[in-house]
Amino acid sequence: MKNLEKLFPFWSDLDDADKKQLEETMRVEKYGKGELIHRTDTGCKGILGVLSGQIRIYILSEEGREVTLFRIHENEVCVLSASCLLDSIEFDVLIEATEDTEVQVIQTCALNQIIKLNPAIELYLYKTVTENFSDVMWTMQQILFMRIDQRIAQFLWDEMVRKNSKTLQITHDEIAKHIGSAREVVTKVLKYLAKEEVVSLSRGKIEVISKEKLHKYL
């Protein structure tokens, strides 16, 4: 079992009996790239600690349009999947693995009792949700106020920094989902960026050929 104290910041606030109780019901789940982990309108799964990989939290329109709200990386925690513990949350999201991912799940039923006796844990959960709120505000401002070419350039830049690589294994469709746009629009902008020698394109892959030029679009 991974270092639970490192994964779940509230772990050190628990007493030994609580820790034992949670450990007994805890489980590790594995998901392939693109697999749905949970949708909150179907119930309450629990808190997810990302052991490896990455998950994204998104919303879906009735017509099937997706908008990524934010992503959660290795050693970070997803609490929106336990929204029944937090009455102030009144919206639904979907949670998907964007890479092959392993999550440590703390089930709601086990946590429910413990939260009542540990206000520090409840506070941790609400603080984490407020961080998610900040991420969503960032996303919303991007969608509302930034030009589409700027949003795509920002996305490529962030991915390049995160992966520490100028070669990005990602499809136009995946970029469209991340930035809340359509695939056709992304393709058009990427072709433009290729013509300007900012990136080069090949099947399922984008290579940043000039960091300096890309940076001018931010």
119 binds a second copy (CB under 8 A): yes
76 binds a second copy (CB under 8 A): no
Please answer whether residues 27 and 105 qualify as being in contact, where contact means their C-beta atoms are separated by less than 8 angstroms.
yes
16 binds a second copy (CB under 8 A): no
Q: Which of 122, 149, 171, 210 binds a second copy (CB under 8 A)?
A: 122
Q: Which of 123, 163, 169, 204 binds a second copy (CB under 8 A)?
A: 123
Q: Which of 67, 148, 170, 182 binds a second copy (CB under 8 A)?
A: 67
Sequence-distant (≥ 6) Cβ neighbours of residue 100 within 8 angstroms: 30, 31, 32, 33, 52, 53
Instruction: Output the six-digit token pair for 36.
Output: 């749905």
The three-state (H, E, C) secondary structure of 103-118, written as one string: EEEEEHHHHHHHHHHC
182 binds a second copy (CB under 8 A): no
Among candidate residues 182, 180, 201, 179, the one with its CA nearest the CA of residue 190: 201
134 binds a second copy (CB under 8 A): yes
Residues in binding contact with a second copy, number by CB under 8 A: 33
Burial class (CB in 10 A: 0-12, 13-18, 19+), 39: middle
**Segment near a second copy (CB under 8 A), from 99-107, 137-145, 162-170, 191-199?**
137-145
Instruction: Output the six-digit token pair for 156.
Output: 């490529």
Which positions lie near a second copy, rule CB under 8 A? 59, 61-63, 65, 67, 86, 88-91, 119-120, 122-123, 126-134, 136-138, 140-141, 143-145, 180
